[in-house]
Amino acid sequence: PKKVTTRALVKMKREKEPIAMITAYDYPSAKLAEQAGADVILVGDSLGMVVLGYDSTIPVTLADMLHHTKAVTRATKRTMVIADLPFALAHLSKDEVIKAAAKLMQEGGAYGVKMEGGSEILVNVRALTAAGIPVMGHLGLTPQTVNQLGGYVIQGKTLQAAGQLVEEAKRLEEAGAFALVLECVPEELGQCITEQLSIPTIGIGAGRYCDGQVLVWHDVLAMSGDWHPSFVKVYQQTGQLMLKGVSDYVHEVKTRRFPEEKHATHLGAELAGQLYG
Ligand code: KIV
Ligand code: NA
């Protein structure tokens, strides 16, 4: 099977073949995502919330991203793996951003990086692109700015705010971004941006008309508790399945139902006799 490249994604947009992206943070989940035929795996900094137990993505470090990106890329052959640049890095000097992104590619094995933000990061998007680092943009609800936004709320709801997002999307494309994540924006805005760009848009809570969709692994599989944002569709209740599996194991140990004879190995009768003297 052919590797997914930036060119492949643009071709998919042109031919109206939807792009399927999902997050993954470790070896087994990345293996499954590739087996399932995902085009792109995002090692999202959402790992801070769903894997590391933080209450936002802000505490996630470059070292965290590198650690998990390595695990993911050990599992993949054809899937494009994109790693998030963690909090504030996109705003550092050109040299520092290039260094961080290069690390995720050289040491982490990522194909490219994703950066949150618009006008304020264009200089760095240009610098990375010029250095041969593929950049995926991310507009709309940008979780790294949650403290400044004042919560996880839908973006682009007024005509002015929507117009500004269209402008920023175009500027990101001009600056060299190869794809753009749109998070939590009205469907009409997702559609408008998708039609105005020649690079693919990948939506999360951005309606039906983006060129692709992305969801968080733990949401798709209901692994992080009962609450989900309304844009999430749960495909399997694996959290419940896992709880049942672990509970059954604990119960069987406690009641001496596990292990059974078939799980044991034996000394021969003679040796066993000698063992007891
Ligand atoms: O970190 C993440 O999982 C993301 C996606 C939700 C787009 O940025
Ligand atoms: Na992210």
The region of weakest confidence among 38-42, 263-267, 272-276 is 272-276
Contact 189, 144 (CB under 8 A): no
Confidence (pLDDT) at 237:
95
CA 70 to ligand 1 centroid distance, Å? 18
Q: Which fold has domain 6-236?
A: TIM Barrel (3.20.20)
ipTM: 0.99
For residue 261, give every residue at least 6 positions away whose Cβ sits within 8 Å of its Cβ, in sequence order, or none.
none
Neighbours of ion ligand 2 (CB under 5 A): 44-45, 84
Specify the ligand 1 atom closest to the Cα of 143: 8
- pLDDT at 226 > cutoff 80: no
- C-alpha distances in Å from residue 60, one per residue of 44, 55, 214: 10, 11, 20
For residue 52, give every residue at least 6 positions away whose Cβ sits within 8 Å of its Cβ, in sequence order, or none.
59, 60, 64
For range 179-207, the mean pLDDT: 98
Confidence (pLDDT) at 264:
96
Q: What's the whole-model pTM score?
A: 0.96
Q: Is 127 in the pocket of ligand 1 (CB under 6 A)?
A: no
For range 149-173, the mean pLDDT: 96
3-47 pLDDT per residue, tens: 999 999 999 999 999 999 999 999 999 999 999 999 999 999 999
* Every domain range in the chain assigned CATH 3.20.20.60: 6-236
For residue 264, give every residue at least 6 positions away whose Cβ sits within 8 Å of its Cβ, in sequence order, or none.
none
**CB-CB neighbours of 162 under 10 Å:** 18
Confidence (pLDDT) at 1:
79
Return the residue whose CA atom lies nearest to atom 8 of ligand 1: 44
For range 142-169, the mean pLDDT: 96
